[in-house]
A and B are shown apart, each in its own frame.
Chain A
Amino acid sequence: MAGARTPAISHTPFAIGSPLIFMEHIISVLVENKFGVLSRVAGLFSGRGFNIESLSVAPSLDPSMSMMTIVTRGDDRIIEQIVKQLNKLIDVIKVVDLNENEFVERETALIKVHTKPEDRAEALRIADIFRANVVDSTPTTYTIEVAGDTKKMEAIINLLQPLGIKELVRTGRVAIAREPIRPATAQPKRIAKE
């Protein structure tokens, strides 16, 4: 039993550009849909030196709650802290580390390609291969909408880049567990009894 004790967090906290040796985790966070919640979550990550690779948030089925999808990296203990610290926030209703089970993930990107006349056909062909949609077009541009996992995003971006990508926006990833997760709560958000 003798020997050195492993500190729970064995490295100095990192802020941006997380070391890739750490495993990526996708964490679903069900939160109150009200002002200030995003800054509480963001403040938790920046204040404790946890990394956020992407964060997306929108109202959930129940409009009083929002679902956040946070992509982060860390070893087991960092992820454990992230999950616990998120749970500790009063506006957080439920936290699920999706990596614990199977899940599907998607991201959407809008890619505006500057097309010379001779490249327009090529742009459409690439879009077609990736089952992407052209959602807008001007004499000199196509705006292509593509959805998929990270690999697909990177692949289409790589192919379109030589044609000239003018602008690119990505939603950040959203993910969902394959098996049903027990619905968080049917409780009203604040109960005040006489």
Chain B
Amino acid sequence: MKLTGAEIFVECLKREGVKTLFALPGGVVLKIFDILHQQKDIDVILTRHEQGAGHMAEGYAKATGKPGVALVTSGPGMSNIVTALVDASMDSVPLVCFSGQVSTSLIGNDAFQEADNMGLSRPCTKYNFLVKDVNDLAVTIKEAFYVATTGRPGPVLVDIPKDVSMNKTDFKYPGSVSIRGYNPTYDGNKWQIKQAAEAIAKARKPILYVGGGVVFSGASEELIELAEMMNIPVDMTLMALGAFPGEHPLSMGMMGMHGTYWANMAVHYSDLVIAVGARFDDRVTGKVSEFCPHAKVIHIDIDPTSIRKNVNVDIPIVGDCKRVLRELNQILRATVNGEQKELRKPWLDQIHEWQRAHPLTYEQDSNGPIKPQHVIKRLYELTKDRDPIVSTDVGQHQMWAAQYFKLTKPRRWLTSGGLGTMGFGFPAAMGAQAAFPGRLVLCVAGDGSVQMNTQELATAVVNKLPVKVVIINNRYHGMVRQWQDLFYEGRYASSYLDVVPDFVKLAEAYGAVGLRAAKVSEIDDVIQEALAVDRPVFVDVPVDQYENCYPMIPAGGCNHEMILADPPELKKKQVVGTPVVGEDKDTVLTA
């Protein structure tokens, strides 16, 4: 029997095990939506904006490890999802995005709602396909899933012209595909792994610098074994949080621009950096020429281009983190003895010294304004037993969440790292919730960021996605304000938000639950109340507007030169009490 392209599309998705599709319709994809409407295996979640669909698919993918799938229409549907595609390429998220396209006979004619989807997505996908013939559709979809999920994962776009979805052909779904120009390397070079093992056994001051690759390859177990066996402290990048248990004695927490003092000192003074699934991003290295100046570097990554891109590497190993670590552990197991622990004792003592000297701190006055760190810390403490999935937006609140949430397992942390996309958190949480209906999914949001996707409240309500969004409401683009405090003499150019919606009423307007914690004493109760309802909740927490996030390595600074607190000249400006609004903003905070 012959099937239409639309039927083939749906059939292929079923064969790929797709359970949830984040989608928004339009003229050229109506045929596909019509077929989707008549089946029950794939749950179609209608979003209110294509960017929302894209971030939901990302949240789904980050939480499950399976590809997130989205379907959008041509033209504006496609251009609206571009941000999510860029985000997914930066953070190596496996996505398969389907876009509608005008009929093949119209392509290139500036037809209604035509956009050059291939051109738009080329720089922000791992690969993209235009299906010109319905006979190629099934194989192309198979290839799209294959490319998105293998090697270094990433987003793939499949552009489907309207006539391709209408035309008919015999349906045959390939069991497997291979592409001659695409052969990811999974097994590390044995000789290099042996070199690495020797370097690790000898090092006195080693540090593991682990990134998102550990999460994607599912290498946490191997990482824990390596760290414990050889007594090596673990620095995590923003993307890696949860890859190593946050409360483990060897966990140094997050490194980088807003990483912990000891994580950054440790990498700076180490004699051996073992980078695993990380890419030496500038937010981690600071000034590249001063990054770990005393260390030999081992770099394990599945993407050869990540190696020696930013930093010179002594022992490069191209391969899948899990496989390489497993092999490394096997060699080390044979050589390990009590000596290594002894050898590294002074190093660990030194790190504990750093930990004691500059722990993460904030001062919460029980009658004063709520400190943002305090809300996040309480949220963590009140939910940690439930093993929540936590998403964030982008800004100060994101960094505080990264500092205070000590996640125990991978795939619990959904954040936009490489691109830093405001508005990511809420839809990403919804995507994760769609994958795990029974689990607790939290979103630590910023008042600025959350406004970039609040329309998805409707999607959350309709689809019964009971995510708990805690809005750290400082009425500022806080991170921007912090930079202005530190580097622009307190001139708050376009960082004050002036009007912030009443988030309680906003949630209620959509039929969600809105709550507010206005005083320190209310925080716990309000969080408990939010956790108790089985509906989406916005919790508005007005916080100290002028709190800054530390430690901080100024952009391009060295990792051991952190700003640990507001400089004294800035302190004067922090006269808080009544929220500063409107006209006094200049007077209060100019030096």
Give chain A's interface residues, CB within 8 Å of chain B: 1-9, 31-32, 36, 39-40, 43, 47, 77, 80-81, 84-85, 87-93, 185, 187-194
Give the CA-CA distance A137 to B13 in the complex, in Å.
Answer: 63
Q: CB distance A9 to B309 under 8 Å?
A: yes
Looking at the complex, which one of B123, B292, B304, B310 makes contact with A84 (CB distance below 8 Å)? B304
B163 to chain A minimum Cβ distance, whole angstroms, is 18
* Sampled A-B contacts (5; CB under 8 Å): A8-B311, A31-B181, A84-B304, A93-B181, A192-B139
Q: CB distance B174 to A192 under 8 Å?
A: yes
With contacts A1-B294, A43-B122, A190-B143 taken as known, whether A8 is within 8 angstroms of B180 at the C-beta atoms is no
Give the CA-CA distance A135 to B176 in the complex, in Å.
Answer: 53
Q: CB distance A194 to B174 under 8 Å?
A: yes
With contacts A5-B290, A40-B122, A192-B142 taken as known, whether A185 is within 8 angstroms of B309 at the C-beta atoms is no
With contacts A5-B290, A90-B179, A189-B180 taken as known, whether A85 is within 8 angstroms of B305 at the C-beta atoms is yes
Query: Which residues of chain B are within 8 angstroms of A80 by Cβ–Cβ distance?
Result: 308
A142 to chain B minimum Cβ distance, whole angstroms, is 40
Query: Which residues of chain A are within 8 angstroms of B176 by Cβ–Cβ distance?
Result: 192-193
Give the CA-CA distance A36 to B139 in the complex, in Å.
Answer: 19
Query: Which residues of chain A are within 8 angstroms of B127 by Cβ–Cβ distance?
Result: 90
Looking at the complex, which one of B130, B179, B182, B289 makes contact with A4 (CB distance below 8 Å)? B289
Query: Which residues of chain A are within 8 angstroms of B147 by Cβ–Cβ distance?
Result: 90
Q: CB distance B123 to A185 under 8 Å?
A: no
Give the CA-CA distance A77 to B316 in the complex, in Å.
Answer: 14
Q: Let me know if B177 is at the binding interface, CB within 8 A.
A: yes
Q: CB distance B180 to A5 under 8 Å?
A: no
Give the CA-CA distance A88 to B296 in the complex, in Å.
Answer: 27
Q: CB distance B181 to A193 under 8 Å?
A: no
Looking at the complex, which one of B123, B174, B289 makes contact with A47 (CB distance below 8 Å)? B123
A182 to chain B minimum Cβ distance, whole angstroms, is 15
Q: Let me know if B291 is at the binding interface, CB within 8 A.
A: yes
Q: CB distance B178 to A6 under 8 Å?
A: no
Q: CB distance B311 to A7 under 8 Å?
A: yes
With contacts A2-B293, A193-B175 taken as known, whether A188 is within 8 angstroms of B180 at the C-beta atoms is yes
With contacts A8-B312, A40-B122 taken as known, whether A91 is within 8 angstroms of B305 at the C-beta atoms is no
Give the CA-CA distance A7 to B180 in the complex, in Å.
Answer: 34
Q: Let me know if B303 is at the binding interface, CB within 8 A.
A: yes
Q: A32 — nearest CB in chain B belongs to which residue?
A: B181
Q: Let me know if B118 is at the binding interface, CB within 8 A.
A: yes
| Interface flags, B291-326, vs A, CB<8A=1, else 0 | 111101000000111001111100000000000000
Give the CA-CA distance A31 to B182 in the complex, in Å.
Answer: 12
B312 to chain A minimum Cβ distance, whole angstroms, is 5
Q: CB distance B304 to A5 under 8 Å?
A: no
Q: Let me know if B172 is at the binding interface, CB within 8 A.
A: yes
Given A40-B122, A88-B305, A93-B180, 19 other A-B contacts at CB below 8 A?
Answer: A3-B293, A5-B291, A5-B292, A5-B293, A6-B289, A8-B308, A8-B311, A31-B181, A36-B118, A47-B123, A81-B305, A88-B304, A90-B127, A185-B180, A187-B180, A189-B180, A192-B174, A193-B175, A194-B172
A68 to chain B minimum Cβ distance, whole angstroms, is 13
A191 to chain B minimum Cβ distance, whole angstroms, is 5
Give the CA-CA distance A146 to B179 in the complex, in Å.
Answer: 40
Closest 3 A-B residue pairs measured CB to CB? A192-B174, A7-B288, A84-B305
Q: CB distance B123 to A43 under 8 Å?
A: yes
Within 8 A of A (CB), among B169-197: 172, 174-182
Q: CB distance A5 to B123 under 8 Å?
A: no
Give the CA-CA distance A80 to B127 in the complex, in Å.
Answer: 22
Query: Which residues of chain A are within 8 angstroms of B178 by Cβ–Cβ distance?
Result: 187, 190-191
Residue from A5, A31, A32 having most chain B Cβ neighbours under 10 A: A5
Within 8 A of A (CB), among B129-154: 130, 139, 142-143, 147
Query: Which residues of chain B are within 8 angstroms of A40 by Cβ–Cβ distance?
Result: 122
A171 to chain B minimum Cβ distance, whole angstroms, is 25
Give the CA-CA distance A7 to B308 in the complex, in Å.
Answer: 9
Q: Let me know if B271 is at the binding interface, CB within 8 A.
A: yes
A149 to chain B minimum Cβ distance, whole angstroms, is 31
Q: CB distance B305 to A193 under 8 Å?
A: no
B264 to chain A minimum Cβ distance, whole angstroms, is 15
Give the CA-CA distance A141 to B178 in the complex, in Å.
Answer: 54
| Interface flags, B107-126, vs A, CB<8A=1, else 0 | 00000000000110011001
| Interface flags, B443-486, vs A, CB<8A=1, else 0 | 00000000000000000000000000000000000000000000
Query: Which residues of chain A are within 8 angstroms of B296 by Cβ–Cβ distance?
Result: 1
Q: A188 — nearest CB in chain B belongs to which residue?
A: B180
Query: Which residues of chain A are within 8 angstroms of B118 by Cβ–Cβ distance?
Result: 36
Query: Which residues of chain B are within 8 angstroms of A191 by Cβ–Cβ distance?
Result: 177-178
Q: CB distance A190 to B123 under 8 Å?
A: no
| Interface flags, B255-282, vs A, CB<8A=1, else 0 | 0000000000000000100000000000
With contacts A32-B181, A194-B175 taken as known, whether A7 is within 8 angstroms of B123 at the C-beta atoms is no
A183 to chain B minimum Cβ distance, whole angstroms, is 12
Q: CB distance A8 to B304 under 8 Å?
A: no
B121 to chain A minimum Cβ distance, whole angstroms, is 11
Q: A40 — nearest CB in chain B belongs to which residue?
A: B122
With contacts A5-B311, A9-B310 taken as known, whether A90 is within 8 angstroms of B122 at the C-beta atoms is no
Q: A76 — nearest CB in chain B belongs to which residue?
A: B308
Query: Which residues of chain A are within 8 angstroms of B292 by Cβ–Cβ distance?
Result: 5
Give the CA-CA distance A39 to B181 in the complex, in Å.
Answer: 17
Query: Which residues of chain A are within 8 angstroms of B293 by Cβ–Cβ distance?
Result: 2-5
Give the CA-CA distance A3 to B308 in the complex, in Å.
Answer: 18
Looking at the complex, which one of A2, A77, A88 makes contact with B308 (CB distance below 8 Å)? A77
Q: CB distance B304 to A87 under 8 Å?
A: yes
Residue from B292, B293, B309 having most chain A Cβ neighbours under 10 A: B309
Q: CB distance B177 to A39 under 8 Å?
A: no
Query: Which residues of chain A are within 8 angstroms of B179 by Cβ–Cβ distance?
Result: 90, 189-190
Give the CA-CA distance A3 to B303 in the complex, in Å.
Answer: 28
Query: Which residues of chain A are within 8 angstroms of B309 by Cβ–Cβ distance?
Result: 8-9, 81
Give the CA-CA distance A40 to B125 in the complex, in Å.
Answer: 11
Q: A189 — nearest CB in chain B belongs to which residue?
A: B180
Give the CA-CA distance A187 to B182 in the complex, in Å.
Answer: 12
Query: Which residues of chain A are within 8 angstroms of B182 by Cβ–Cβ distance?
Result: 90
Query: Which residues of chain A are within 8 angstroms of B305 by Cβ–Cβ distance?
Result: 81, 84-85, 88
Give the CA-CA distance A194 to B175 in the complex, in Å.
Answer: 5
Q: CB distance B289 to A5 under 8 Å?
A: yes
Give the CA-CA distance A47 to B139 in the complex, in Å.
Answer: 30
Q: CB distance B271 to A1 under 8 Å?
A: yes
Query: Which residues of chain B are within 8 angstroms of A31 by Cβ–Cβ distance?
Result: 181
Query: Which residues of chain A are within 8 angstroms of B139 by Cβ–Cβ distance?
Result: 190, 192
Give the CA-CA distance A39 to B116 in the complex, in Å.
Answer: 13
With contacts A80-B308, A81-B309, A87-B304 taken as known, whether A193 is within 8 angstroms of B123 at the C-beta atoms is no
Query: Which residues of chain A are within 8 angstroms of B174 by Cβ–Cβ distance?
Result: 192-194
Query: Which residues of chain B are within 8 angstroms of A43 by Cβ–Cβ distance?
Result: 122-123
Query: Which residues of chain B are within 8 angstroms of A81 by Cβ–Cβ distance?
Result: 305, 308-309
